[in-house]
């Protein structure tokens, strides 16, 4: 899957350097995020989603140290304040907060700011990149109906920002993304240790 993501990255042109892979954490599906970070390919962005964990700052700081040592990018999910305090490289916004992306990009111009978008809504998001889901059938409890590669290609053509594909992506499905125009691949379980 990493090779396919790199091939996608070579095809795309972006305003900021963007990683080929985004690895999302999830308390249920990726319980050992530090082990996950240690196993990711160099250049990957790890999106740490704390979901209100009481030790989120300490965990984010440990992840930042691992990411720095391994050549990874650390994004914090939904919490710009936590991202700033942890010294993260940016933030990933859920769709409900995507409207904050332009202000965050102005406030933190060195940050990578990504946002979630579902299907056609990706055309309106003004972030460094958007993560569109679900592309293929997914086991994620939050995954909606998959849009498939043809619809994804349409979304990419109309999007205001570069697009990552998320949802049901694994070694078998990743190659089907090569002709869609996405900048890279995002995943949860298929990138865990």
pLDDT of residue 193: 46
pLDDT of residue 4: 76
How far apart (Å, rounded) are the C-alpha atoms in residues 173 and 64? 30
pLDDT of residue 15: 66
pLDDT of residue 141: 66
Which H, E and C letters describe 137-182, residue by residue? CCCCCCCCCCCHHHHHHHHHHHCCCCEEEECCCCCCCHHHHCCCCC
Q: What would be the CATH architecture of the domain defined by 2-191? A: Alpha-Beta Barrel (3.20)
Question: Mean pLDDT of residues grouped by 10 in the chain (193 residues)?
Answer: 70 71 92 95 97 95 98 98 98 95 96 88 86 89 85 94 94 94 90 52
∠ Cα 51 54 57 (to 5°): 85
**Domain-by-domain residue ranges, the chain?**
2-191
How far apart (Å, rounded) are the C-alpha atoms in residues 31 and 42? 21
pLDDT of residue 9: 59
pLDDT of residue 88: 98
Q: Can you read off the two tokens belonging to residue 91? A: 């933030």
The torsion of the CA quartet 87, 93, 97, 102, rounded to 10 degrees, works out to 70
pTM: 0.90
Residue 125: strand pairing partners: none
122, 130 in Cβ contact below 8 A?
yes
């Amino acid at each position: 899957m990493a090779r396919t993501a790199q091939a996608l990255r070579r095809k795309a042109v972006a305003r900021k350097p963007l990683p080929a892979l985004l690895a999302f954490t999830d308390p249920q599906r990726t319980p050992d995020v530090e082990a996950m970070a240690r196993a990711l390919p160099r250049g990957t962005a790890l999106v740490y989603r704390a979901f209100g964990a009481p030790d989120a700052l300490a965990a984010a700081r440990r992840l930042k140290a691992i990411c720095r040592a391994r050549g990874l990018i650390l994004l914090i999910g939904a919490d710009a304040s936590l991202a700033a305090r942890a010294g993260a490289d940016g933030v990933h916004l859920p769709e409900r907060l995507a409207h904050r992306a332009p202000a965050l990009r102005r406030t933190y111009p060195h940050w990578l700011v990504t946002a979630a978008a579902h299907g056609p809504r990706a055309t309106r998001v003004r972030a460094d990149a958007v993560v569109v889901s679900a592309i293929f059938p997914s086991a994620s409890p939050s995954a909606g109906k998959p849009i498939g590669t043809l619809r994804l290609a349409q979304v990419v053509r109309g999007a205001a920002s570069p697009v990552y594909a998320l949802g049901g992506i694994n070694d078998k499905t990743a190659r089907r993304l090569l002709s869609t125009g996405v900048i890279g691949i995002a995943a949860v379980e298929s990138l865990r240790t």
